[in-house]
Amino acid sequence: GAGVSQTPSNKVTEKGKYVELRCDPISGHTALYWYRQSLGQGPEFLIYFQGTGAADDSGLPNDRFFAVRPEGSVSTLKIQRTERGDSAVYLCASSSSGRGGETQYFGPGTRLLVL
Amino acid sequence: AQTVTQSQPEMSVQEAETVTLSCTYDTSESDYYLFWYKQPPSRQMILVIRQEAYKQQNATENRFSVNFQKAAKSFSLKISDSQLGDAAMYFCAYLWGSQGNLIFGKGTKLSVKP
């Protein structure tokens, strides 16, 4: 079946603007994860959803970042008042049930550039 | 806090040869999982291999195998018969049994010479 998809592939915005990044997980996967990958670094965890609820949002850097998953499928990562330091690749992943040790399957990411 | 260290920022291998990528991690947990992911220029992270810490047997997937040394907290990846398509960034990652989030190392860039 289809893998994890993310839109847009690339996003250029100006400092101070609001952006939304979308993730469509593998059909039937109840667990969904957001990571941020800065240039030359490994991905860093942002937030994890189990169904519609955020099971762990400890990785969100500040209150400008917010994510939702209202129907337990598609998720949107929202960034308010963007800053140049928010420029990175935002990766989404999903896993079947979120039980310990499950493999996470990643999407191709959204590259965000804040000018 | 758990950490993952990849000490080789870049590695190079001749086509058809074997290369080993290093990874060490720090944890006080006993129930965890380790992964190697490949990230080509397309950005998509692709699972290469997965190891459960409670299993002593090293995981293998075709040309890819790991050397898992639990006491030493070491988890190296061996790629045999290297192919041009193996060129990519390789990330080692740790997952604690009851946590959701992967903890990644900084990655190793692998080049394959024809």
Task: List CB contacts of B55: < 8 A, sequence separation 6 or more.
Answer: none
Q: Does residue A110 lie in a domain region?
A: no
Residue A102 lies in a domain: no
Range of the domain at A26: 5-95
Judging by beta carbons within 10 Å of its beta carbon (0-12, 13-18, 19+), is residue A110 exposed, middle or buried? buried
Q: Residue A42: inside a domain, yes or no? A: yes
Q: Nearest to residue A56, comparing CAs of B3, B99, B43?
A: B99
Overall average pLDDT of the B88-107 stretch: 90
User: What per-residue confidence (pLDDT) applies to A1?
Assistant: 55
Q: Tell me the C-alpha distance between B25 and B36, whole Å.
A: 13
Residue A104 within any structural domain of the chain = no
Rounded Cα distance, A55 and A97, in Å: 12
Domains: count for chain B = 1
- Domain range for B49 is 3-113
Assess if residue A63 is contained within a domain. Answer: yes
What backbone phi and psi angles, to 5 degrees, belong to A85? Answer: -70, -10
Distance of alpha carbon B40 from its chain centroid, rounded?
A: 14
**Ramachandran region of residue B61, left (φ > 0), alpha (ψ -120 to 50) or beta?**
beta
Distance CA A48, CA B94 (A): 16
- Whole-number percent of chain A with pLDDT over 70: 99
In-domain check, residue A25: yes
pLDDT at A81: 97
| Residue given tokens 């099971």 in the structure block | A55
- A60, part of any domain: yes
CA of A37 vs chain B CAs: smallest distance (Å): 10
Q: Is the dihedral of CA A6, A11, A16, A18 positive or negative?
A: negative
User: Using one digit for the tens of pLDDT, what is the confidence trace for B49-59?
Assistant: 999 999 889 99
Q: Which CATH number does the domain housing residue A18 bear? A: 2.60.40.10
CATH assignment at residue B90: 2.60.40.10
Question: For chain A, what is the domain count?
Answer: 1
Provide the β-strand partners of residue A113: A12
Task: List, in sequence order, the alpha helices (H) in chain A.
Answer: none
pLDDT of residue B97: 67
Chain B touched by A25 (CB under 8 Å):
no
Q: Tell me which amino acid residue A88 is.
A: A
Name the percent of chain A lying above pLDDT 90: 90
User: What's residue A101's pLDDT?
Assistant: 83
User: Cα–Cα distance between B80 and B17 in angstroms, integer?
Assistant: 6
The lowest-confidence range among A22-26, A101-105, B9-13, B15-19 is A101-105
Q: Specify the pLDDT at position A76.
A: 98
Residues 52-81 of A with CB under 8 A from B: 55-56, 59
Report CB contact under 8 Å: B100, A35. Answer: no
Residue A108, domain member (yes or no)? no
A44 close contact with B: CB closer than 8 A:
yes
Tens digits of residue pLDDT in A51-80: 999 989 999 999 999 999 999 999 999 999
* pLDDT at residue A97 in the model: 83
Greater model confidence, B97 or B44? B44
Q: Which residue from B4, B42, B95 is facing A101, i.e. has the nearest CB?
A: B95
CA distance B86 to A66: 36
